Amino acid sequence: MRTMLHAKIHRATVTDANVGYEGSIALDPVLMEAADILPFEQVHVLDVDNGARLQTYAIEGTRGSGEVCVNGAAARLVERGDIVIILSYGTVAEEEARRASPRLVYVNERNEIVRVSHGQLAAAELAAAGR
The secondary structure of 26-42 as a DSSP string is EE-HHHHHHHTPPTT-E
Active-site residues: which are they? 24, 57
Q: Indicate whether 127 pLDDT > 60.
A: no
> The sheet that has 16-18: what strands, in order across it?
16-18, 68-71, 24-27, 53-60, 42-47, 83-92, 2-13, 103-107, 113-118
- pLDDT band with cut points at 50, 70 and 90 for residue 126: low
Which residues touch 82 (CB under 8 Å, ≥6 apart)? 13, 14, 47, 48, 49, 50
Pairwise pLDDT comparison (42 vs 121), residue with the higher score: 42
How confident is the model over 58-101, as pLDDT tens digits? 999 999 999 999 999 999 999 999 999 999 999 999 988 888 89
Closest by alpha carbon to 61, among 84, 35, 81, 39?
A: 39
Domains of the chain: 2-128 (2.40.40.20)
Q: For residues 25 and 57, what is the distance between their CA atoms, to the nearest angstrom?
A: 6
